Amino acid sequence: MLETYGWSETLRRQFQSFAAEGLTPGRVIIHQRGPYRIVTEAGEMAAEMSGRFVREAEMGGFPAAGDWVAVSVRLPERAATIHGVLPRRTAFIRKAAGRGRMAQVVAANVDIAFLALSLNDDLNPRRLERYLAAAHESGARPEIVLTKADLAPDAARIAAEIGAVTGGAPVHLVSSRAGTGLETLRAAIKAGETAVLLGSSGVGKSTLVNALVGEARMATRAIREDDDKGRHTTTHRELVLLPGGGLLLDTPGMRELALWEADDGLSQTFEDVEALVAACRFSDCTHGNEPGCAVRAALESGELDAARLESFGKLKGELAHEQRKEDPLARAAHKKLWAGRTKANRARYRARDAEHDGD
């Protein structure tokens, strides 16, 4: 059974130290409030973390959906205790909601990140760029899924426009209701591979999971198709087995995704923008009135969309803000930078006023 859920020779080697302690491997298939649900060679069962594991786990170290764990099994009770988590091959991490700097692992050990948007009011290239940055950072390969394609007569044109900001990531047009695009999407997940389905509430993720599985596995709720309003019913993360042998992880809707240390992912997502920034004459170019600004030239020629540049700046600033909260040196450097800019601006204003007085 474990091979069906992606167990490999690499995982077997990583598990040797746990095996020496008499522990059993398992994979987390459901992550929700309360007990986890895992699968082992003995089948599915409930699992809870040991007290020692809870005390010693580092930030973001608690098991997440898709994790491989080391457990002690109590077969008569169909229950297990989690004593450790194997190293993650990939991890989709976001900043947890609320105050403080806390990491939340949304999905672990996934090969593909399906980023879902519906062809109605949810379609937002700026939100897609945020998801792409997080997906690249995770180590998974991103693919775009445009749902409810039957609702958009110009779906092919929209897909082409979305493809222009994906950096080469495949774009799938899918309609769960009409059944179009499902086989292509299912075939994208090879046997033993794991995909995670990410997107905002109401894009039709649970309906899509049901269509791919071929049964009503996930609860769904109708929404108003004209404005995409409605409440997403998935409240947990669940790993399901597809007919072709692939695995698909559904997640609750996330309209806002606070990034977590996604510098590399941001560079991959905005490779075109960063290439323009690097081509500017001055390394500290603010892309305002400096001569030789490649970014401003690209904006004027139409090569670069102003909204894309704004999105890049917003996400870059968000990550820098998180870094400054964590790193006192970065915070001090930022304060020094802005103090210098403020001083320069004041001097410029004084010079301008003096010039006006002279006139």
> Is this model's pTM higher than 0.85 or not?
no
CATH superfamily of 263-358: Probable gtpase engc; domain 3 (1.10.40.50)
Half-sphere exposure of 36 (CA within 13 A, CB side): 25
Q: For residue 228, is pLDDT > 60?
A: no
DSSP annotation string for 227-248: TTB------SEEEEE-TTS-EE
Structural domain boundaries in the chain:
3-85, 91-250, 263-358
- Using the 8-state DSSP alphabet, how is residue 4 labeled? G
Q: For residue 150, is pLDDT > 50?
A: yes
The enclosing H or E element of 74 equals strand 68-74
Q: For residue 353, is pLDDT > 70?
A: no
pLDDT tens-digit series, residues 72-127: 999 999 999 999 999 999 988 876 655 555 667 888 999 999 998 888 766 778 88
CATH superfamily of 91-250: P-loop containing nucleotide triphosphate hydrolases (3.40.50.300)
pLDDT tens-digit series, residues 166-208: 888 999 999 988 888 999 999 999 999 999 998 877 788 888 9
Phi-psi sector, 347: left (phi>0), alpha (psi -120 to 50), beta: alpha
- Using the 8-state DSSP alphabet, how is residue 203 labeled? S
- Mention every residue, 6+ apart, whose C-beta is less than 8 A from residue 165: 125, 128, 129, 132, 308
Say whether domain 3-85 belongs to CATH 2.40.50.100.
Answer: no
Least confident interval from 47-51, 211-215, 224-228? 224-228
- Whether 263-358 and 3-85 are alike in CATH topology: the answer is no
Residues 62, 91, 145: CA angle, nearest 5 degrees: 130
